[in-house]
Structures are given as C-alpha cells and as structure tokens.
Structure 1
Amino acid sequence: MMSFAEVTLSLVACLCAIPVLTLLAEILASLPSLRPGHLAGRRPSVAVLIPAHDEREDLDATMTSVRGQLVDGDRLVVVADNCRDDTALIAEAGGAEVVVRHDPDRRGKGFALDAGLRFLARTGLPEVVVVVDADCRLRPGAIDRLAAASVALGRPVQASYLFTPVLGGSPAHRIGAFAARVRTIARPLGARRLGVPCPIMGSGFALPATCLSKVSFASGHLAEDKKLGLDLALAGFAPHFCPEAEVESPLPLGEAARHRQQTRWEHGHIALIKAYAPRLFREAFRGRDLRLLAVALDLCLPPLVGLALMSGLVLLLTAGWAGLGGAEHPMLVAGGTVGLLCLAIVLAAWRWGQGLVSWRDVLALPSFMLVKLPILVGALTKPQGDWIRTDRVRQRP
C-alpha cells in the first residue's frame, strides 16, 4: 500500500505533466509552415477603438497605420484615459473621435475600453469593434481580415501579436522576445490547428457587436485582456485566432521597464489561474464543453520559466524521495515531464526562434531565470495589485 508521501508525490508529478503536455501539443501543431489564407466573407462596418494613456509619442504613427485601412462608414475612436499630456489633441488632429476620461480611482485599460464602447453605443455601434493599443502598428489588411472573420464566426478574433525585439538588445532581451513569440504566435496557432480557442492577447482583436453586452469590460485587472477572453469564453464567445492579420509592438529595452511589464503579465496571469481555473474546469465538465476545457488547460500553463522551474523542482523532490528508498515511479514521471518540456522548447526554438535567438543565448538562461524567479515568487506571496503603464524605449533610425 502506497504511503501518503508517495501518493502526494505521484499526484504532483502527474499534475505537473499536464501543462507540459499541453505546451508540447500546441508547439507540435504549430510546426507546419503557415499558408496564406484568403479573405472570406463580406467586410462589415468597423470602429477601431484605441485606449491611450499618455501616448503622445506613439499615437500618431498608430493612427496612421489604422487610417489607411478604413473605408467609408468606419470610425476611429481614441479614449484619452487619465492623460497628463496632449494625447487628446493629437488624436483630434489625426481625425479621430476623442473620448476624454478622468477617473484616477478607476485606472486601467479595461475602464478605457468600457468608456469607448459606451460612447459607441450612444453614437452608433458598428458591426465589429477592433481594439488596438496606442503603441502598436497594424500591418496592411489586418482590419479587413479581423472584421470579416469576426462577423462570419460571430466570435471575437485575435490577430498575431508580434513583439519586435530592439536591435542591440541583451541575450535576456532576445530570450524574452522568443518567449513572447511562443506565447502570442506559436501557441495560439497550434491551438487553432487543434480546433480550440485562443486567448485575447492585448491588441489587435475584433469584437462582434453581438457579444459586447454579454460581459463587463470595466476592469483594472493586471491582465485585463486575458481576463476579457476568459469572460467571453464563459459567455459562449470563445476567441478565434487569425494568424493572417498582424499587429506589432516593440518589447521594452530597459531592464526596469521589462521587469515591470513581466511582473504585470505574470502576476496577472497567476491571479487569473487562481480565480478562473476552477470555474472553467467545472463548467467544461458540466457542459461537456471541449472548448472550455481547452481554455482551462491553456490558462493553467504558466510562463515558460515558471514551468521549467516547477518541473525541475518536482524532479528534484521525486529524485530525493527515490534516493531515500521511496518508490521510483514519481521520479520517472517527473523525469519524463522534464524531457518533454525540453523537447517542446527545442522544437519551438527551431521553428520560432530562427533569426531571434542563437544557441549561444542559452548561456544567458540561468541569469534570465534568476531574474524571473523573484517575479514568480512575488506572484504567489505578494502579488501586484495596481495597474502600471509600461514605458518602451524605441529603436531610433
């Protein structure tokens, strides 16, 4: 009869294997080359909504990338949210309809989106609303593809979110860019090919008007976009990935800015796991809904560094137990999990890291993991509660 310790270690090893298997399945499905898709369906009426907080340096270029894709009847709306600069004046000069919002007690992108959607509801709601962050650029054809797919499917649609590394960045910067590419392109593409939804990733997503009243947008959550995707999935509107539509944004170059961004992302992600995973699994099993089950499994996949640290720790614990004379099967499961995680990372680097990271950057992994470790520990012991805008250092020509 197995002891309590053996049962516990076996259970922990098996639970740790689930997110690794999820990651491996997504990476394997993402490996085949992407064939260009054809624009199908009619082009609906569109409003592009840009939430902006102190974005005077980036907003004009973002609006330029949007205006060239608008057609007669489309609208461009900028929400100048708690701004201390002339974001509103720049937006107005660029031909946008401007919503000025001042509410320092309710800060965050979710509240800005809510204000913009309320404005659209009062002044004429289009068939599709496309959300673009003020520091992003839409690549040509993105709005047409997002809007047509969203109205055809009756679901939110997420574009490929390209985080572009800055030339001259450190190995840690390049590793962070690779991890972001896996999170925002490889995994969603794999999920689509497996026939399951993707998360909303922050910018470049389209919302059909039919789903806007089903969820609340007013939120100051650190991961407000991912939270919105989970709420929509629970309401029956799980997001769909459209890799042919692309939006790009630079990764922050400075160490302090990158640390703030990673802290916000990962603290927000872990908070969502604790808040949403039980409900997602419950609703998935109750309704026999494979889409919700896939959303729950994807949500429970922690950041790559966190997953590696967790898998390594479980392997050390189970190996220690076996060394003390305990059963070996928990160690074998944990060892297999670490092996599969390494396989997933190698395949992802081969397919998605070309031109971005080199094998020499592997030497920077220990220091990268040491930097990330306090962020992950802090997410469990003292999670960040306030939304903080990430400053980006632009690459100069």
Structure 2
Amino acid sequence: MFILFTALYFYQAIYVVVALFKKPQKPAPAGKNHHFAVLIAARNESAVIGQLISSIKKQKYPQDKIDIFVVADNCTDDTAKVAERAGAHVYERYNKKYVGKGYALSYALNAIKRDYGKNAFEGYFVFDADNLLDENYVTEMNKLFDQGYRVLTCYRNSKNYGTNWISAGYSLWFLRESKYLNNPRMMLKTSCAISGTGFLIHNDIIQKNHGWKHHLLTEDIEFSVDSIINGETIGYCGGAKIYDEQPCTWKQSWTQRLRWSKGFYQVLGKYTKGLVKGFATERRFACYDMFITIAPAIFVSLASILVNACFLVNGMLGSSFYIQHLVFSTTTSAILSSLFNFYIMLFIVGLITTITEWKEIHGTSPVKKILYTFSFPFFILTYIPISIAALFKKIGWDPIPHNISKSIEDFERS
C-alpha cells in the first residue's frame, strides 16, 4: 500500500524539486488596468468584513476599476450595514432551502447582470469575508489576467497561524499548496487548482456558464475540475497574497473538513469519468493531477492498516499460541510501520514548507514554527476518522464563525 501511495503521488515530489530549484518567471507589467468586480459571500460576518473591504480600498490599483459586491446571505446580524458603510454594494439574500456559498455567488452574479448588464466587468474576484488582501494583490493578478489567463488563483497565507496546532495545520497545508503545488504547476505550464478563496474568473466564463453553476459542498474544487475537463488552464499568481482565518477548535475543524470530505466524494462521483477520459484518451496530465488531488489519499493509509488488521484477526483465530504471538507481533509492527512512514512523509512536507516560507509565517514565535512541523502530520492524519464519517453522514453547509479582527497593516508591519 505504501508503494502504491508513493507511485501515485511521486509526481508531487517532482513538484517540490521544481519549486526549490527553479525560479518562477516574473509577469510583465499589464498593458491595461482591467475593470473587476469583487464578490464576497458573507453570513454573519460583521466582525471581519469591514477589514476586508478596507484592504480592497487600499489596493495600489485604480479604485474606479474595482467594484465591491457583498451578498449578505441569510444574515441575522448587521453584516449588510457594516459592508455598506465600508463602501460595498450590498445584496441581501434569504433562502433556507438552497444554502451555501455557491448559491450566494449565483444570486450575486444574477443581480449584477440585471443591474449592470452582462459585460459591465471583465473579471470577477471571489473572496471570503474573513480575508485580507496585500496592497499589491489586484495589480499582480491583473498582470497575468492581461496575459490571457481566464482563471487565476493566488498565494494563500493565514491570519492566525500561531493560535494552536489546528490553525497551524490548516495554514501549513495552504502554504504548501501554494508553494509546492500551484507554483510548480504554473512553472511547468500545467493547470493549477482553486482553493477556497482568492481567485479570479474572466467574464467570458461567467457568461458561458450562465452565472455560477457549481453547487456541490466544495464548489471551488468542483469549478476547478469542471474547468480543467473543459480545457481551461488555471493560472497561479504567487505575487498576489491573501490572508485567511483558519478554524482553531476541534469542533469547527471537524465540521469544516467533514463538509470538504463529503464535497470531494461528490466531485469524484460527478466528474471522475471526465477526468479519466481527459487523461487516458486526451493525454492531459492536468486531469490526472486533479484526480489524484481530490481522491481521498487518506484511504490508502487506512487500507494499509485494515489489510494488516485482517491478517491479524485471521492469524489469531484457530492458531497455536506461538503462531498467534508471531502474527500479532508481525502485523502490529506493520501497522505501526505504515503510520510511521506516513508521519515521516508528512513531517518532511511540513518541514520543507516551514523552512522556505519562514518569513511568510506571521503571528507566532520561531520555537512554535518548529513545533508545529511535528504536529502537522497528526493534523493531516485526523482526516482518517473525518473521511470515514463523511461516507455515512448526511452533511449540509454549516458556517464557520470568524472573529479575528485584524487589519492588513498588522501583517505589513510584522
């Protein structure tokens, strides 16, 4: 099982080598400042949405080329008022039947088309209400947009890396995703993937899709997979940085990752055929990459444990004491060896990311940065019970509360 895992994911080791030793090409200055709309889906986000809008207003980009739209989605607080006071156009949506970010984006895009026309904006940014933008974010994204990329993602950093091992686990994973997945994909000219928030979509795609048509529990992954199947190349802009708030309690983390796991299963069920066809018959590596990315890799380690457990049970039944003792010691050793191998692999991933992204990790001490590389594998391995639960549990869209009220200046000073 370990050999199978290694074979399937070996190309990601090549990604690491590329990211370490190949310098990304700096994009040329844009020939035009394109006109963008910013979409923010917010549900009871009054504590943080003002800071996001403020960071958009402070962009080193012509403000007459940025229009901010907030969907106050089933809010019971004053999110709409806070957003409006901060300078956003606000749409309020109340629909308890169709719940989730995908439906909120659909509502916003339909309202914008109605009120401004279908070609008022050349591209649409999508952010979560807890995000903060580096002051050069839009300028950097505009450079690659101007080069012809119709879908772009960015460098995803965290607002609360140092809160505890849970927030650090999330943060390290997203830093690794930016630096060692999307960054080498971009350099190797294959397709990147959108991750949650901080992405840009060309208006042509919005019009082709008649708005936002992706409503599974992981609408970002669904959009990425659907785009790649249809021949779109998603670009990555490492110079565009956002800061994102991560869950810091086990309950919040369980709820969020349970939805993600269920969403991955939904995407696999709906798009596996298209991904397999794209790789097997059209030789498009991006389709294989996306299939491996969304496949529940944690099941490979789980399968290894279960296979050894089956040998253990079989050997313990009806055998002599000597054989039982031999089987027990052998299979126990194999199970522990499997877990140790996966721990070491994940530790190396976390360690490399921590070392290379050291200056990008804010809000924690050097000692904690090192300690969190040891807890990172445990965070990832907790996906085992989460992935199992997601197979059997009915899951809806439960919002994760955000309350870390920081400004972009807090990160620029650190």
TM-score by length of 2: 0.77
- Aligned partners of 2:229 and 2:275 also within 8 Å: yes
Residues 192-236 of structure 1: CA deviation (Å, up to 9, x unaligned): 233211111121111111111333624442211111111222232
1:270 aligns with 2:265: yes
Which residue of the other structure, out of 404, 407, 411, is the alignment partner of 1:394?
404
1:19 aligns with 2:20: no
1:249 aligns with 2:244: yes
- Aligned partners of 2:354 and 2:373 also within 8 Å: no
RMSD across aligned positions (CA):
3.4
Which residue of the other structure, out of 42, 46, 60, is the alignment partner of 1:56?
46
- Aligned partners of 1:24 and 1:344 also within 8 Å: no
Q: Residue 105 and residue 164 in structure 1: after superposition, are their counterparts in 2 closer, same or farther (change >3 A)?
A: same
| Shift, 1:316, TM fit | 4.1
Find the residue that maps to 1:132 and give its secondary structure.
strand
Counterpart residue type for residue 353 of structure 1: T
- Aligned partners of 1:20 and 1:337 also within 8 Å: no
Show the counterpart of 1:385.
Answer: 395
1:29 aligns with 2:13: no
Show the counterpart of 1:179.
Answer: 173
Show the counterpart of 2:320.
Answer: none
Show the counterpart of 1:99.
Answer: 91
Residues 354-395 of structure 1: CA deviation (Å, up to 9, x unaligned): 35666655665686467433211112233x431111123527
Show the counterpart of 2:383.
Answer: 372
Which residue of the other structure, out of 203, 207, 210, is the alignment partner of 1:213?
207
Rounded Cα–Cα distance in structure 1 between residues aligned with 2:352 and 2:84: 43
Rounded Cα–Cα distance in structure 2 between residues aligned with 1:314 and 1:372: 16
Unaligned segments of structure 1, at least 5 residues: 1-11, 325-333
Show the counterpart of 1:67.
Answer: 57
Q: Residue 88 and residue 359 in structure 1: after superposition, are their counterparts in 2 closer, same or farther (change >3 A)?
A: closer
Q: Residue 87 and residue 298 in structure 1: after superposition, are their counterparts in 2 closer, same or farther (change >3 A)?
A: same
TM-score by length of 1: 0.80
Rounded Cα–Cα distance in structure 2 between residues aligned with 1:341 and 1:371: 12
Residues 338-362 of structure 1: CA deviation (Å, up to 9, x unaligned): 9996775354233212356666556
Rounded Cα–Cα distance in structure 2 between residues aligned with 1:286 and 1:35: 31
Find the residue that maps to 1:245 and give its secondary structure.
strand
Residues 289-315 of structure 1: CA deviation (Å, up to 9, x unaligned): 33333333333363xxx2673474388
Find the residue that maps to 1:212 and give its secondary structure.
helix
Residues 89-136 of structure 1: CA deviation (Å, up to 9, x unaligned): 122212211122121111111111112222232304311111111110
Which residue of the other structure, out of 288, 302, 317, is the alignment partner of 2:283?
288
Q: Residue 186 and residue 370 in structure 1: after superposition, are their counterparts in 2 closer, same or farther (change >3 A)?
A: closer
Unaligned segments of structure 2, at least 5 residues: 316-322, 324-334, 362-367
| Shift, 1:246, TM fit | 0.9
1:152 aligns with 2:147: yes
Counterpart residue type for residue 56 of structure 1: S
Counterpart residue type for residue 96 of structure 2: P
- Aligned partners of 1:59 and 1:134 also within 8 Å: yes
Q: Residue 361 and residue 116 in structure 1: after superposition, are their counterparts in 2 closer, same or farther (change >3 A)?
A: closer
Number of residue-to-residue matches in the alignment: 371
Rounded Cα–Cα distance in structure 2 between residues aligned with 1:99 and 1:393: 22
Show the counterpart of 1:345.
Answer: 346
1:118 aligns with 2:102: no
